[in-house]
Structure 1
Amino acid sequence: MWTIPNILTSLRVLLIPVFVIVYFLDWKWAHQAAAFIFWFAAITDWFDGYLARRLKQSTAFGAFLDPVADKLIVGAALIMIAHSYNSAWITVSAVLLMSREIFVSALREWMAESGRRDTVQVSFIGKAKTMAQMLALIGLLSELEYFMGFPIYWVTLGKILLVIATVLSVWSMCIYLKAAWKYLSAE
């Protein structure tokens, strides 16, 4: 059970309270440190999947915990940016992104119980949404517009990517729903 991929996934779960605490510290670089922790967690998400396939260390525990870890840390980050920015656009995006995750998770669970798990497989749009969402959250968590006096516009880019992630999120949800609709609407 304690394979390298499962250790990385478990580390991601353990990093969630650290990530939240660091973000709210009364410290000059707290938000940037929290953004780094979030970035590190996002990288471990990619590595645990890659290593599980490459080392042939896929386990039922890893298959269960990996998406849970992703949703927990992303949910925490969305709540934190909605709180910090106090913006209707960011809050609406955060609510839509979290709602979509709950909806698609429930849809996948129902389809799996119905023996139709392959109907709602992860699509390219879903992967693009995840990439845009992760980059958006890193930028928004960091609150950096300048680095060492140079403009980098992380927050501005983060806001744009958050809107893109939200659009892709709703779009992919509609695709999954369309694929499952004939089973959901059956008598």
Structure 2
Amino acid sequence: MPVNAALRDHLKTRRSVGIGFLQEPGPDEAVLAEMLAIATRVPDHRKLAPWRLVLYRGAARAQVGDKLAEIARRRNPDIDEASLDAERQRFLPAPLTVGVLSVPVEDPKVPEIEQVLSAGNVCFNLLHAAAAFGFGASWVTRWYTFDAEAAATLGAGEGERFVGFVHIGTATAVIEDRDRPQLSDVVREWGVDRAYG
């Protein structure tokens, strides 16, 4: 196969854009459908599709925030108004958030960890799909990813768990790259007693 220089350059420079730097417009229906098709084109041993996606857009974004604030207040009756407002803003201002659920399937040949990793790949592919269409995006987990009541409120069913939420919109800033690990610090060749590189 020939080198795909555009893809190579994208992968070498990929950068998340935090939700505070995302605004309207988001993808239209045709673009969203393509992005979701790209997102779900991931490694999936035995074709189990062990994931499900939930879309939050329009007025639903503020409604989700109100529900998260209610749960946060019940969890912490002393919470201050600024913290409650932060909960109300969780899915704002990004025009679209996609929640990705791990939905494991009983299969003797596919351990659950493989299925969870496949769901994680949906999140990562969604970041690439957003970039392919000129959008900024970030993949996050927050307390509500791991809180059973909040996760159920956001759409998790029995036996399902969120692996992340991908916020998508038009970037309002160019985000500077961050330091990346040196390969010699994180790569080893089996049987060779020296750093890589």
Give the structure-1-normalised TM-score. 0.21
Kindly indicate which of the two structures has a greater share of residues assigned to strand. 2
Q: Higher relative contact order by CA 8 Å / sep ≥ 6: 1 or 2? A: 2
**Structure with the greater alpha carbon radius of gyration:** 2
TM-score (norm 2): 0.21
